[in-house]
Amino acid sequence: MTNEILEQLKAEYPHAVSLNESMQNHTSFRLGGPAAALAIPNTIAELQGILAFCRQHQLPIFVMGNGSNLIVRDGGIRAVVIKISGALSTVVLTEHGIEAEAGISLSALAHAAVEAGLGGLEFAAGIPGSLGGGVIMNAGAYGGEMKDVVAQVMALDYAGQEQYFDNEQLQFGYRQCYLQGRELIIVKVSLHLKEQDPAISRALIADYNQRRRNKQPLQLPSAGSIFKRPPGHYAGQLIEAAGLKGARIGGAEVSPMHAGFIVNVGNATAKDVEGLIHHVQEVVAAKFGVHLETEARLVGEES
């Protein structure tokens, strides 16, 4: 992967591609080293063109959504990072709900559903990820999950070919689905929703958002809940019981407000966050015999 080839990619897609782009600007943790190239396609056709270029030149690819569940190490990502967020955000009403492009935020999609008189997505209104990322992770909150509303997904493989998966084929589980870790990029999602009075939906969203503000450290950069829920336990309760609220390495801190969050209290590095994750895992395992598995994805290279 030479600079000359990356410059050629940027020349072919000047409005979509940037080089040596800091991932601090593209993750909710506000940390991480640079991507060799960052591509934010504006259309599905443009995405197919970028994929074809990468295939032709044998460039490695890393796909991301809104970066809300991502910890990029300080050495960055030596690949073409394809970000499906923001631009690919068209929403169309269908007979049974909504078809939306994968780059729309879950919050914007949930509010679009409310305005259309459709219910079922209220749980997602406060989740800071994209639709595509939400499907990949089977995002959920307050008793709802993406598996409850996803009818079908259209994805592109790295050769740019369309593939379709229905709800059963997606094999949803706790914070996972069949597409996770595969060379497939979600581009469209069909959602099966129910007719509902917008006033009911707005009241639900207001309640969920107030609960988040009361319990979660939303004012500081983070990747949300840093650990998956271990069977029979809650990660935050175990971490708090281990006396780790407020534990800090560098600029990374176990939130005093909610122990399930690690927050960036100022100039944290990915090394700080990763070190604090390992410390929490070791202490909780020693005290309670429970291994905490990360929900956030750690990617990239050490500095």
Pairing verdict, β 61-64 and 91-93: unpaired
C-alpha 146/C-alpha 191 separation (Å) is 9
> Residue 249 corresponds to which tokens in the numbers above?
């390495």
Please check whether residue 118 is in contact with residue 195, taking contact to mean a CB–CB distance below 8 angstroms: yes
Active site residue 225: yes
Biggest CA pair distance of the chain: 56
List the catalytic residue out of 225, 253, 255, 274. Answer: 225
Query: Which residue in 109, 69, 111 sits closest to 206, CA to CA?
Result: 111
- Dist. CA 214–CA 260, nearest whole Å: 14
Measure the CA–CA gap between 142 and 114, rounded to whole angstroms. 17
Neighbour count for residue 115 (Cβ, 10 Å): 11
Q: CA 121, CA 7: separation in Å to the nearest integer? A: 41
**What is each CA distance from 132 to 34, 153, 181, 286, in whole angstroms?**
23, 9, 13, 37
Catalytic residue among 122, 145, 274, 295: 295
Is 295 one of the annotated active-site residues of the chain? yes
Q: Which of 175, 222, 255, 274 is catalytic?
A: 175
- List, in sequence order, every beta strand (DSSP E) within 89-167: 91-93, 97-101, 118-119, 140-141, 144-145, 150-157, 162-166
State the angle between helix axes of 198-215 and 106-115 in degrees (0 to 180), rounded to the nearest 10.
150
Please classify residue 113 by burial: count the beta carbons closer than 10 Å to its beta carbon, then call 0-12 exposed, 13-18 middle and 19+ buried. buried
The residues annotated with a catalytic role in the active site are: 175, 225, 295
